[in-house]
Amino acid sequence: MDGRDWSKFLLPYQQAVEELKVKLKALRTELKARDEYAPIEFVTGRVKRISSILEKAKRLSVPIDKIETGIEDIAGIRIMCQFVEDIHRVADLVRLRKDWKVVYEKDYITHYKDSGYRSYHIIVEYPVQTSLGSMPVLAEIQIRTLAMNFWATIEHSLNYKYREHLPEHVRDRLRKAAEAAFQLDKEMSSIRQEIVDAQQDFEEKSGIVRKV
């Protein structure tokens, strides 16, 4: 079709996704061991299918020989958090790492998409060690709350099934559902803050010294 060996093309991306998953899961374990509370709930990853890559390249007018730089989410990682505040803590931890380089970030929480989509994306360049040497690949790390993930998973499957035939009133209800999910996140954050404050109050009254 275009002279590329597609069976080999995905190999470094598969390796990148496997390694990034291991590293981010280890980060979760370490944070949990230190603080008894991990800002990371769980981590998933996937490599985009060739058909989806070609579809996206066509949609974004990316030439086939520029796919490696033009399509940034061939390797995709998702980090799920309990609270919106955790997203910012995790983003800070991602920025501090020395084993990849942050290329740029997209804040779809402050600037949510017209669909209602919310999530924080960090595009990183990750060096994969291959038999031919080090090969930098782009990967997209999506950081979102459980509520944002719930909404995105359902919206994605509806969009996948109905494509452009998704009626406008359904799109409108999806936007409203995204807003409701975000309100749920806000409510959960305030409940959490109330518990933290109550604990602090109790510890101060009973003379317990908190470790910071």
**Which sequence positions are flagged as catalytic?**
140
| Contact between residue 144 and residue 120 where contact means Cβ atoms under 8 Å apart | yes
66 binds ligand 0O2 (CB under 6 A): no
Q: Does 155 bind ligand 0O2 (CB under 6 A)?
A: yes
Strand order through the sheet with 133-145 = 42-47, 75-81, 133-145, 120-130, 101-107
Secondary structure (DSSP) of 11-26: HHHHHHHHHHHHHHHH
The span of 34-42, 79-87, 115-123, 203-211 binding ligand 0O2 (CB under 6 A) equals: 115-123
Contact (CB, 8 A) for 12 and 135? yes
Pick from 13, 83, 100, 117 the residue near ligand 0O2 by CB under 6 A: 117
Which residue number, 48 or 109, has a Cβ lying nearer to ligand 0O2? 48
Q: Is 113 in the site for ligand 0O2 (CB under 6 A)?
A: yes
Q: Which of 40, 122, 152, 181 binds ligand 0O2 (CB under 6 A)?
A: 152
Query: Which listed residue (14, 44, 115, 189) binds ligand 0O2 by CB under 6 A?
Result: 115
Identify which of residues 95 and 113 has a Cβ nearer to ligand 0O2 in the complex: 113
Q: Please, what is the minimum distance in Å from the beta carbon of residue 159 to ligand 0O2? A: 7
> Where are the alpha helices (H) located in the chain, listed in sequence order?
6-9, 11-35, 50-59, 67-70, 84-96, 146-162, 168-205
Number of residues that bind ligand 0O2 (CB under 6 A): 13
* Closer residue to ligand 0O2 (CB): 19 or 155: 155
Establish if 73 lies at the interface with ligand 0O2 (CB under 6 A): yes
Pairing of strands 120-130, 101-107: antiparallel
Q: Which of 40, 6, 134, 24 minimizes the C-alpha distance to 76?
A: 24
**What tokens were used for 88?**
């910012």
* Residues of this chain that bind ligand 0O2 (CB under 6 A): 48, 56, 72-73, 76, 106, 113, 115, 117, 121, 152, 155-156
